[in-house]
Amino acid sequence: MKGVRAREATLDAGPEGGRIVEDEAAVIARVRAGEPEAYAELVRAHTHVALRAAVAFGAGADAEDVVQSAFLKAYQALGRFRDGAAFRPWLLRIVVNETRNTVRSAVRLRALAGREALLIGSEPLIPESADPAVAALAEERRTVLLAALEELSEEQRQVVTYRYLLEMDEAETAEALGWPRGTVKSRLNRALAKLGQLIPGKGGEEHE
């Protein structure tokens, strides 16, 4: 595609390995040109982050079903995908919407457990030789953080989740949420300020 800025999509480490697929714009062009099997490359490249997003926003045990449905809807909507845009934020918007549609009535009750699983999975294990007091303190801090996240508004939780739990940069967060970058920055600052007030010992610290 002439004039399209190529972006490389990297697979997360796992059974498939850490292979790099061809740039996303070319893969999408192949799918649109009548090569639907090429879509599997995008699925493999983004399944891990899609599952993390589904869990982070409350899908819980339904995360795999949510992600499968989101990939299907993304495939069906690929004709409307904007040339030159990043695929991951666009996909995650679909994942989050599908999560809400699937577990709308239970999302608040299951969000805490889902985020805890996500946070535990992203943190290094504490060696058995470590001081038990250190392990207890780490668990206590995690519990406090998760409880504090529940006190944020829905928009504040969203921006914190995208930026820090899903490790997306500011531009990707703005794309995924459909907000201007200035809105992302201001809402993130307010969210971090509130977290600083809610978490003991963090009230006077500055946030980047």
- CATH fold group of domain 1-108: Rna Polymerase Sigma Factor; Chain: A (1.10.1740)
pLDDT digits (tens, 9 = 90+) for 8-26: 333 333 333 334 345 899 9
pLDDT digits (tens, 9 = 90+) for 44-99: 999 999 999 999 888 888 899 999 999 999 999 999 999 889 999 999 999 999 99
- CATH fold group of domain 123-208: Arc Repressor Mutant, subunit A (1.10.10)
Provide the β-strand partners of residue 188. none
- Rounded Cα gap, residues 93 and 100, in angstroms: 11
- Does residue 9 contact residue 45 with C-beta atoms inside 8 Å? yes
- Does residue 34 contact residue 55 with C-beta atoms inside 8 Å? no
pLDDT band at 149 (very low <50, low <70, confident <90, very high): confident
Ranges of CATH 1.10.10.10 domains, the chain: 123-208
**In which residue are the tokens 């206590």 written?**
140
Count Cβ atoms below 10 Å from residue 25 Cβ, excluding itself: 18
Ranges of CATH 1.10.1740.10 domains, the chain: 1-108
Does pTM top 0.85 for this prediction? no
